[in-house]
Amino acid sequence: MPTYNPPLRDMQFVMHEVLNITEALKAMPRHAEVDADTINAILEEGGKFAAEVIFPLNINGDEEGCVLDRETHTVKTPKGFKEAYKQFVEGGWAALACDPSVGGQGLPYIVNQCVYEMLNSANQAWTMYPGLSHGAYEALMAHGTDEQKKTYLPKLVSGEWTGTMCLTEPHCGTDLGLLRTKAEPQPDGSYKLSGNKIFISAGEHDMADNIIHLVLARLPDAPKGSKGISLFAVPKFNVKADGSLGSRNPIYCGGLEHKMGIHGNATAQIVLDGAVGSLVGEPNKGLAAMFVMMNAARLGVGNQSLGLTEVAFQNALAYAKDRTQMRSLSGVKAKDKDADPIIVHPDVRKMLMTAKAYAEGGRAMAMFCTLLLEREHHHPDEKVRKDSGEIVALLTPIVKAFITDNGHTSTNACMQVFGGHGFIKEWGMEQFVRDNRINMIYEGTNTIQSLDLLGRKVLANNGATLRKFGKLVGKLVEEEGVNEKMSEFITPVAVLGEQLTKFTTEIGFKSFQNPDEMGAAAVDYLRVAGHFVFGYMFALMARVALREIAAGNADPFYVAKLQTARFYFAKLFPETATLMRTARAGAAPLMNTEAALA
């Protein structure tokens, strides 16, 4: 059976020693009084909930899955899920980073980020139920009417009700301009929606009293394509004027998807048969409103793979220390045993260190993004808000795609550490692999994220936002460039920064002449950019570790951090050279393949 220990020490390191989070928060009146002890205490309790309450439900939830009663259209979640959710709500966990005006606790985003990383490590399928609710909260806070906010937000914030995002239809996935769900205006100002949605995570369940579906649909006079999409709030149960639940709305689960992983989450086929809803935001502007939820979800999906990478690493490390196989190539290490533990073998260490580096780099990047979000929403300086928003928009597709791709690499590597036992269900490793696989697909496939990064976030403004991030890197290079001990961490990032500027210009010029060149280069480009960000994060972490060691701090944590950073720069970061070479090979080897793909 797998185990899980919340990585509180590393979280505290990134928050307090690398990002100096409490000092950063003092610049924002909303959080000026938040201190490190409060954050640490909350995360410690959150870790206990993750490890002791929902982690034990993970394997059973995978085996049981969700069950649909086709007559009543109700879904029963796996044993223990409902009770754990009740405990989650009673503990106030749903309200952590929500606005106090609607019942939230108003804590910094970084607290929510860390709690959800631990929840994802413990049980991704379960965590998706409250996770999606938070996205619905964000969308309604930004674009909901006063009436919608009054009706829905307090219940979503408390966790008494949950939320979903209903986008995909059977004939269209990412291309939402093709959707057919209709919304007919009613004399009372409401709308009646009809259509079919698929792949709706947490679309129906027994864990909360009501579900608020945010549904994309078309008005009768809507323009074709994505310019004719509107957003609607459609509750499972209609809500009376006094806030109590009324009649059952005809939005229901017509089927559950039979899928590779996340079996404990109800991935529903949703049927709307004249369901009553209310317009969110302006007519035909629904995609912009939904993007608030989608961007939150994309950051959340990166966090899902971060959680799985961490728990897979922990279990693979423990197994590698215990499992004996053969002798070390450099001589016997465990003289009291018939064979050495497999952790002595170089390639086993490579697999373990790959997962460790991707977990620690991903954690630092995710926390960095939450600090940017905090500044975007709450910093008193308008320029800081604007710059932070631009940079987090640049980094969002990288968080989603780079961390989930790395999660795929890491969970598979950790399963490989177990050998044949990794393929066996009882160890839990194959579930981490299966559960992670969807993270590369939903909320916009990783190729879509790559096109978004290169096309919208970089080339569309001629690299202006990329240069803003580059200035942060340049500042670190300027500060530490003459520090000989930092050279092994700073020089690779500085060199890649120069290469990335030239690389971006080349791809942009070729794409202007032939748009397929952008499509051919985008996935490679995102990974190069991902390593640029990770390199910056590891350089920041290495600086702190070197400083502590120089000051006489004997905590082995800092030595471990330097070893992880050295491994990352030696074994993973050099991938960028190959990626730039394959991207420069262009579109021709892909598109001139008529005979090969006939």
Each residue of 379-422: pLDDT tens digit?
A: 999 999 999 999 999 999 999 999 999 999 999 999 999 999 99
pLDDT, tens digit, 9 for 90 and up, residues 133-170: 988 999 999 999 999 999 999 999 999 999 999 999 99
Q: Report the pLDDT averaged over residues 1-21.
A: 97
Which sequence spans correspond to the domains of the chain?
A: 10-143, 162-285, 451-590
Residue 552 confidence (pLDDT): 98
Least confident of 138-142, 359-363, 485-489: 138-142
pLDDT band at 292 (very low <50, low <70, confident <90, very high): confident
Instruction: Name every residue whose Cβ is closer than 8 Å to that of residue 262 and which is 6 or more positions away in sequence.
Output: 124, 125, 128, 201, 435, 438
- Contacts for 156 with CB less than 8 Å, ≥ 6 apart: 94, 133, 136, 137, 140, 162, 163, 212
CA-based angle 261:265:269, to the nearest 5?
Answer: 95
CATH architecture, domain defined by 162-285: Beta Barrel (2.40)
Least confident piece of the model among 64-68, 156-160, 440-444: 440-444
Average pLDDT over residues 273-277: 98
* 331 Rama class: left (phi>0) / alpha (psi -120 to 50) / beta: left
31 vs 290, which has greater pLDDT?
31
- The answer, yes or no, to whether residue 342 has pLDDT greater than 80, is yes
pLDDT the model gives residue 173? 78
Residues that are catalytic: 443
Phi first, then psi: give them for residue 324, nearest 5 degrees.
Answer: -105, 135
**Whole-angstrom distance, CA of residue 281 vs CA of residue 290:** 10
Mean pLDDT of 519-546: 98
Instruction: Taking each helix axis as running N to C, give the angle between helix 346-378 and helix 109-143, from 0 to 180 degrees, rounded to the nearest 10.
Output: 50
Using the predicted structure, report yes or no on whether residue 475 has a pLDDT greater than 90. yes
Predicted confidence band of residue 87 (pLDDT cuts 50, 70, 90): very high
Quick one: pLDDT band at residue 107, thresholds 50, 70, 90? very high
Predicted local distance difference test score (pLDDT) of residue 390: 96
Q: Are 235 and 213 in contact (CB under 8 A)?
A: yes
Q: In this structure, which topology does domain 10-143 adopt according to CATH?
A: Butyryl-Coa Dehydrogenase, subunit A; domain 1 (1.10.540)
Query: DSSP label at 169?
Result: B
> What is the model's pLDDT at position 435?
98
- For 499-531, the pLDDT digits (tens) are 999 999 999 999 999 999 999 999 999 999 999
| Spatial CA neighbour of 177 closest among 287, 271, 292 | 287
How far from each other are the two terminal CA atoms of the chain, in whole angstroms?
47
Asked if 364 contacts 357 with a C-beta cutoff of 8 angstroms, the reply is no
Spatial distance between the Cα atoms of 274 and 386, rounded to a whole number of angstroms: 41
For residues 475-495, average pLDDT: 96
Q: How confident is the model at residue 176 (pLDDT cuts 50, 70, 90)?
A: confident
CB atoms within 10 A of CB 189: 8
Query: At 161, phi and psi to the nearest 5?
Result: -115, 155
62 pLDDT above the threshold of 80? yes
> Both tokens of residue 11?
């979280």
With pLDDT > 90 as the criterion, what percentage of the chain qualifies? 95
Q: Do domains 10-143 and 162-285 have the same CATH topology?
A: no
| Contact (Cβ atoms closer than 8 angstroms) between residue 561 and residue 13 | yes
Res 357: pLDDT: 98
pTM of this structure? 0.97
Output DSSP code: residue 14: I
Summarised one tens digit per residue, pLDDT across range 208-243 is 999 999 999 999 999 999 899 999 999 999 999 999
Give mean pLDDT, residues 25-39. Answer: 95
Contact in structure between 423 and 415 (CB atoms under 8 Å): yes
Half-sphere exposure of 42 toward its Cβ, with a 13 Å CA cutoff?
Answer: 24
Average of per-residue pLDDT values in the chain: 96
Distance CA 461, CA 138 (A): 27
Q: What is the pLDDT of residue 1?
A: 86
Instruction: Determine what percent of the chain is predicted with pLDDT higher than 70.
Output: 100
Predicted pLDDT of residue 88: 98
pLDDT at 293 over 80: no
